[in-house]
Structure 1
Amino acid sequence: MEKVSIFWFRRDLRLDDNRGLYHAYTQEKNVLPLFIFDREILDDLDDREDARVSFIHHQITRLSNELAAFGSSMVVKYGKPIEVYEELLNTYDIVNVYTNRDYEPYAVSRDLEIQKLLSSKNIQFLDFKDQVIFERDEIVNGSGGFYKVFTPYSKVWLEKFNKSTIQLVSLNSTKNTFFQTNALPVPSLEDMGFKPSSIQIPPLEINTALIQKYDQVRNFPAIKGTSRLGIHIRFGTISVRKLALEVQKLNATYLNELIWREFYMMILYHNPQVVDKAFKPQYDEIPWRNDEDNFQKWCDGKTGYPIVDAGMRELNATGFMHNRVRMIVASFLTKHLLIDWRWGEAYFAKKLLDFELSSNNGGWQWAAGTGTDAQPYFRVFNPESQTEKFDKELKYIKKWVPEYGTPAYPKPIVDHKFARERAISTYKEALNT
């Protein structure tokens, strides 16, 4: 059997400034790249045309082509990671396994299982920080614990970032240590039970002109005021270090969004229970109404509240929803309809191209008032005033709700004043019992 060291791609689908790959490439001989289409994840997807699976498949094909320039290829498997590694151990004489750390609960347990298997064969599992600037325990409060509030966390993060010297790394093609092999087969989408998606993926480009005025335009959904880089950050087709260094010079508000991302990752790592429980346990006492008919109308964009309906229809059609509108629709579901935030979070998880467990969970718990740094329960977004502020000319609404203003548009499913008072009294009663 051939001696190889494996580099396992996960959510770092690039050759450039990939820390784990760089360490494998510079320290080993015969580095064999690996990607696993993980059945533990894919088997749970309802949509057989999931745009994220199509995107990943496209990126794996691209990476395979880039590796061909090094005379190498990538082993691409469809299966459960533990079974794939058992197969690889029978195929290759594996020296070490390199990868980049992932902090989500499933990823942590998966990696522990793989590490245990490899350790039984005296093979090292070497993981590196890559998808964040600062991870889990690098930003701590005065007593050495994790921050539960964003503002002090962000101040320490920024101070540390401004003092740090971040070097981007790249592979030196004159020192090629990849395992030399011809192109290896990549399972097709159809092989895995999927079909190509018709949803368009935003291109990978840092629009410096847009980012320079991000703080001025980010709240208006009718204009192109956000970078649309979410899916690329999520799957690592762009280096977060490269992006942070670029935007540091352009816009502090945009950089602040990257800090929010790392804050929520840190919160999830230290509090894995927030996946299905409120960060503030007392909020699990809220008696949600959970009306299934109302929930379906929210999903379909037929609530009779045009800014809410526009957002949901945009999400259903494109896999994207403007950040300001995400807050509005989340507040509406949890406060106006008193539907459990977990229902909305799960729906976003199915639909969002840039779905990130930590940010999705953090955002939904913020909107519901149940999380760290949460919106107070007595603050209930008024969809009409939000429309007046951020879509005054109704351009966004008219794009996604063309029947607005005609008899075909539904009446509101709940009165705002009534819903607001009901939400506040329901929360108050639950928290005081």
Structure 2
Amino acid sequence: MNQQNYIDEVEKSVLHTYNRFQMVIDHGDGVYLYDTDQNQYLDFAAGIAVMALGYNHKEYNEALKNQIDKVLHISNLYYSVPLMEAASKVTKAADMERIFFTNSGTEAIEGAIKAAKKYAYTRDGHAGHEIIAMQHSFHGRSIGALSVTGTEKYQIPFAPLLPGVKFATYNDLESVKAQITDKTCAIIMETVQGEGGIYPAQKEFIEGVRKICDEKDIIMILDEVQCGMGRSGKLFAWQNYNVKPDIMCLAKALGCGVPVGAFLMTQKVADQSLAPGDHGTTYGGNPFVGAAVSKVMDIMQRDHLPEHAAKVGEYLYEKLEQLMEEEECITAHRGIGLIQGVECSLPVGKVCAEALKQGVLIISAGSNVLRFVPPLVIEEKHVDEMIVKLKKALAICKENA
């Protein structure tokens, strides 16, 4: 079968909720992907910030194969060694006491919302509390996660959503203060807004939110599903600010391809929130994903991948700054580590499609931002290769505009 045959067969049966690029990926190696016709692509998307270790990482693969030969799943009615190892490594790295493993980032957000509400219920003896979220945020597509996602186009068809959610302006502390009442139980935000256009939190803003939460006993929830796990140059993006949340949500690179998420919390929150019967999952934290998380943590820390991401991220930042100086269609640039974005006056969908033809995978964020979230193992030579191919894509798009 050729690629178009594969695509046609997929479209016959898979629900059309994604406008996929017209390629069929066959395998990957390092920071490159290959389609079924054996064309090579430099990957600056990493499966939407998932594949931090790149592709075909022998040590990671071997850990999963070994676990497959032991046991894949037992449910959370029993203990397992991979669960113990994964939980211990992640909580220690985050300096947080408790973790709950989920199947995705969206589920991690759902659990965090429940934990914050239960904390306030235990504290106050009643329900009916409110959550403050941020405009232009993205936290997932389930009803609860969608309710705290500050992007109206995602919400409108599914109203009414979870009640008691207010929205403030990201990086505007006064707008947060204006939304606080005696019903506020949590403030949720991404440490670096991803889908909203790659906006890192400003230091004064995140420090100010932390201070408000401390003063009023409000739960601070940081969504690090995309920006966490080394991508910012620190293992967790909030470590760049020396501001620790009460609850943190992780996923994506936590499993580097194995579907797993988690929410972590301090012991104070754990003591007053979710108890047996309050929350659960059949698959979450099973031996297979536990083995994946455990090995990811080992490799990231041993190989100093967050530090590597910071170093190569600085080089990427310089190159994108140069690109902005050279190309009038690039109008703004922001980001941190290996989560960066540039605003583009050309249709970003067409730019991404043309970049694919040039042999590089780049994805968008929002309506006008090109997003760069490559595997954390990339080198400066890969940044140079990407820039050359992106310039060609931009030139072709300008010619056809």
When normalised by structure 2's length, the TM-score is: 0.34
User: By percentage of residues, which structure has more helix?
Assistant: 1
User: By percentage of residues, which structure has more strand?
Assistant: 2
Question: Using CA pairs below 8 Å that are at least 6 residues apart, which structure has the higher relative contact order?
Answer: 2
Q: Which has the larger radius of gyration?
A: 1
